Structure 1
Amino acid sequence: MATAAVFLDRDGVINKDKGYVSQIDDFEFIDGSIEAMQLLKAHGYLLVVITNQSGIARGYYTEEEFMTLTEWMDWSLADRGVDLDGIYYCPHHPGKGIGDYKQDCLCRKPNTGMLDSAGKELDIDFANSYLVGDKLSDIQAGQKLQLKANYLVSTGKVLCEKGAEAADGVFTDLLSVAKAIVNG
């Protein structure tokens, strides 16, 4: 039986976006983000991280460095009672990538490749799922799959008017979104 999920962008939603975060020392959880994920898990939602990582494509850090940070983040959350159900990333960039990473792929948001993969692997009920991001491309990915709602938070990128208009709601942070989701 398919299960509802909350798709989460990483930088700007879960952690402070300091620009191409790739080292543990640079990773800082946004206040309330862990509590938000605990709340969503307690209400039965799958939690799936979907993150564009063009820093890999640009050669700023390697996939191995990204994986090291991702494992640390995953364990840090597990230690606080948050088991992520999936972590998907896109290492490509269509214009600024180097070598094989320079490509117009299906996984980079606003494309839906990461969400499609999660949907198949985790049996996700898209019609009852949510997406939380900090920019227009996040919202567009969720809209393409007709998720129940696609929300922006103001803890990441500076909100653009197009993104705010496209979103089903704009919230101050992930905790505010989580409370709105669980309270219907």
Structure 2
Amino acid sequence: MRIIYVRDNQTLKTVFVDRDGTINRDCPYCHELDDLQIYDDTVGILKHYQGKGYRIIIVTNQSGIGRGYFSMEEFRRFNDGVVNRLLDLGVKVSATYFCPHRPDEGCSCRKPGIGLINEALSDFRVDIGGSLVIGDRDDVDGQLARNLGLPFRIVSH
């Protein structure tokens, strides 16, 4: 599933970045804007890549939707808050791709599966060979990068 904020027709290197635990503090199952805390170090990293011409796309597992912890609307409101806060800090997010399924559902869009990236590739022209994945978990985000043959940059706060 996707939320597209900025459409473009350029072929660009892209940063595929995890959300919870990477961009913002993981609550867990974050969905209340009062809980939103953005990590300054990740903002700096994203601004660095954006300054080099990379597109920024969020890719995130959101099983809280499938578990009934929060609604799709609550997810969207929180995610829009993340994207708007990043924009205020100078980082433009082009889209968010998210998996609402529980881990036991075995869907192909759940990271480290590549379904979310395939959706992004159908919506954007991506220089995949020059792209990378940024996240806080090697077992999920790092494995996604390896599944795609992309570099992985791990962040820890």
Deviations 1:48-70 (Å, cap 9, x if unpaired)?
10000011111111111000011
Moved over 3 A (4+): none
Q: Which has the higher contact order (CA 8 A, sep 6+)?
A: 2
Asked whether the equivalents of residues 108 and 114 of structure 1 are also in contact (C-alpha less than 8 Å), the reply is yes
Question: How far is 1:35 from its partner?
Answer: 2.5
Question: How far is 1:21 from its partner?
Answer: 0.8
Asked whether the equivalents of residues 60 and 99 of structure 2 are also in contact (C-alpha less than 8 Å), the reply is yes
User: Any unmatched runs of 5+ in structure 1?
Assistant: 96-102, 156-184
Task: Give me the TM-score of the superposition, normalised by structure 2.
Answer: 0.87
Question: How far is 1:89 from its partner?
Answer: 0.6
State how 1:6-45 maps to structure 2 within 5 Å.
Answer: 6-45=15-54
Asked whether the equivalents of residues 42 and 155 of structure 2 are also in contact (C-alpha less than 8 Å), the reply is no
- The 1-side partners of 2:129 and 2:85 are apart by 30
Asked whether the equivalents of residues 5 and 125 of structure 1 are also in contact (C-alpha less than 8 Å), the reply is yes
Amino acid corresponding to residue 79 of structure 2 in structure 1: T
Secondary structure at the aligned position of 1:85 is classed as: strand
Task: Give me the TM-score of the superposition, normalised by structure 1.
Answer: 0.75
Question: How far is 1:154 from its partner?
Answer: 2.1
Asked whether the equivalents of residues 9 and 138 of structure 1 are also in contact (C-alpha less than 8 Å), the reply is yes
Aligned to 1:165: none
Secondary structure at the aligned position of 1:86 is classed as: strand
Higher normalized strand content (fraction of residues): 2
State how 1:76-155 maps to structure 2 within 5 Å.
Answer: 76-95=85-104, 103-135=105-137, 136-147=139-150, 149-155=151-157
User: Any unmatched runs of 5+ in structure 2?
Assistant: 1-9
Deviations 1:94-149 (Å, cap 9, x if unpaired)?
42xxxxxxx221110011011111122111121111101122121111211111x1
RMSD: 1.4
